[in-house]
Structure 1
Amino acid sequence: MGSKQNYKILVVDDEPDILEILQYNLEKEGYGVRVAANGRKGVEEARSFLPDLILLDIMMPEQDGVETCRQIREIPELQNVYVIFLTARAEEYSEIAAFEVGADDYIVKPIKPRALMSRISALFRRESKKKKSSSKISIGDLIIDRNSYTVSIKDQQVVLPKKEFELLYFLAQHPQKVFSRDDLLQNIWGSDVYVLARTVDVHIRKVREKIGEGFITTVKGVGYKFELN
């Protein structure tokens, strides 16, 4: 998907002013946009709209954003959708909870529309470049296919959200090389996204839970590396 007209964005927030501002600015940029005023409606819209990106509030009536994100990630067609939290919750535990359920980014309100538009545009540009350089990595029983965003081990498919997949793929591209948390944040999340270093640990743990402990090892005091088993 090269042009903005091909990208679809869902905005889920209970504040009408924010929905209106974001919808206006996103449509002005050329994106296809839908909005939802609560978490339950957000899941319904996500299922029917199949967006490329979801902008999601945390504190909402009926169902909060963390639970909404968890439910969205359980929909097979939305395993790899980008999810950016836009929230007034600045506490570290809220951010960690968001990444635990599969968030790709976490932005604290108040929102600066122009900065957000630039961030979204940069995200889609990076995605386009990655698709052009897609390839498959096979290491023993583990197969990582960048074209289809799929992972299989011993012929069993493993479902990884986008950032978990990108983290595994990046490490597997550089076996035996140790990367610090800062290196991984820079290469997976980019310099225009601010997330905690703890986010890397959360994603590594979740990848290990799905593919096993033996592929990614911790180098104490340094970072992580992919092992050739």
Structure 2
Amino acid sequence: MKEKILIVDDEHDIVKLVSDILRKEEYVVTSAGSVSEAQRKVVQSVPDLILLDLRLPVIDGLEYCKMLKKDEKTTNIPIIMLTSQSQETDKVVGLELGADDYMTKPFSPAELRARIKAVLRRLRPVEKPVETLESGDICIKLDERAVYLKGKPVELRPKEFDLLCLFFRRKGQVLTREHIMESIWSTEYFGTSRTVDVHINRLIKKIKSLDKKIVSVTGYGYKYIE
């Protein structure tokens, strides 16, 4: 569903013009001619963005901007101020109060669309892709350092987790015990190659299907078969 935009302006012609432009872009548009009406609209349905005229009856736009930013329920709603050429000082004050952008009347439909899209895009949370490694019914979520077998979590020790990741990243390659020790234990390793065997056996006990996937290569080390 498209974003909801609230227009707060007491000029009917401006409201109609802006509403028509935004509805063509498939935004959900509501309007209010005063701050008191805007407050009721916000309670009914919190908008994704507010277009706020600075010259409003009773309570002006700057005061309403301040009210919105002080209220924890509305502080994160982006605000684009609608101003006139004579309100240069008000633009600065509005931005200092927390408004995200401003537009000077008269403005073109293209500029309006562009500024709205820019503000919404800037404030839209960036979804970080979840990094995963998968093989058969085993899934490793790297950001969580978690392993799932058929969707159910499997508890692994840190080195067991690192070992499984190494095999998943190097599928089909023969890994010597020395290479495994350097990759997993690095400079902290003080044991023997037997440590690798012990950890692999523990891994297989916890995930039985690995018994046929992690195979021993005589005289070399191990290989993971998909």
Which interval holds the TM-score relative to the shorter structure? Answer: 0.5 to 0.7
- d(CA) in 2 for partners of 1:80 and 1:89? 27
Q: CA RMSD in A?
A: 1.9
Partner of 2:122: 126
Structure 2 stretches lacking a partner, 5+ long: 130-226
Partner of 1:63: 59
CA offset digits 1:47-86 (Å, max 9, x no partner): 3221110000011112110011111223222111100001
Partner of 2:178: none
Alignment of 1:132-143 (within 5 A): 132-133=127-128
Shift in Å at residue 116 of structure 1?
0.6
- Is contact 2:83–2:91 with CA below 8 Å preserved after alignment? no
Q: Secondary structure at the match of 2:7?
A: strand
Q: Secondary structure at the match of 1:27?
A: helix
CA offset digits 1:75-128 (Å, max 9, x no partner): 222111100001115443211221232111111111212221122123323334
Q: Secondary structure at the match of 1:73?
A: helix
Could you list the runs of 4 or more consecutive aligned residues of structure 1 that deviate by over 6 angstroms after TM superposition?
none
Structure 1 stretches lacking a partner, 5+ long: 135-229
- Using the size of structure 2 for normalisation, the TM-score is 0.53
- d(CA) in 2 for partners of 1:21 and 1:31? 14
Is structure 2 residue 93 aligned with structure 1 residue 97? yes
Q: Secondary structure at the match of 2:47?
A: coil
Higher relative CO (Cα under 8 Å, sequence separation at least 6) belongs to 1
Partner of 1:15: 11
- d(CA) in 2 for partners of 1:89 and 1:56? 16
Partner of 2:175: none
- d(CA) in 2 for partners of 1:8 and 1:79? 16
Number of aligned positions between the proteins: 129
- Is contact 2:78–2:119 with CA below 8 Å preserved after alignment? no
Q: Secondary structure at the match of 1:125?
A: helix
Identity, in percent, stands at: 36
Partner of 1:163: none
Q: Secondary structure at the match of 1:54?
A: strand
The structure-2 alpha-carbon separation of the partners of 1:62 and 1:89, relative to structure 1 and needing over 3 Å to count, comes to farther
Larger Rg over CA atoms: 2
